[in-house]
Amino acid sequence: MDDRWPVWKLALLLYVFATGAVAINLFMLGLIGQALGLDALSPVMALALSVPLGIPAAWLAGRWVRSLLDQAADP
């Protein structure tokens, strides 16, 4: 029996953290965009955009953690 955590469970666990990281990065990107003449991205809009964008970020984080766990378990 395989007792490894599947990627989807790791991604579900990491979703909140990945979404927060995406929100911070989007907000900072909006601040940098002001230097290029773009409108600033409000914190609320950054949070709203980070909810769907957090899904692929959490999936990638789950794959990364799964690979680290596999490396650690290798004899």
The ranges assigned to domains in the chain are: 7-70
Residue 7 has pLDDT above 90, yes or no: yes
Distance from C-alpha of 70 to C-alpha of 16, rounded to nearest angstrom: 23
pLDDT confidence tier of residue 70, bands split at 50, 70 and 90: very high
Distance from C-alpha of 75 to C-alpha of 65, rounded to nearest angstrom: 18
Q: List the one residue out of 67, 60, 57, 56 whose CA is nearest residue 5.
A: 67
Burial (0-12, 13-18, 19+ Cβ within 10 Å), 8: exposed
pLDDT confidence tier of residue 3, bands split at 50, 70 and 90: confident
Q: Is 37 left (phi over 0), alpha (psi -120 to 50) or beta?
A: left
Lowest mean pLDDT among 2-6, 10-14, 21-25, 53-57: 2-6
Q: How many CA atoms lie within 13 A of 23 on its CB side?
A: 16
pTM of this structure: 0.86
Average pLDDT, stretch 24-53?
A: 95
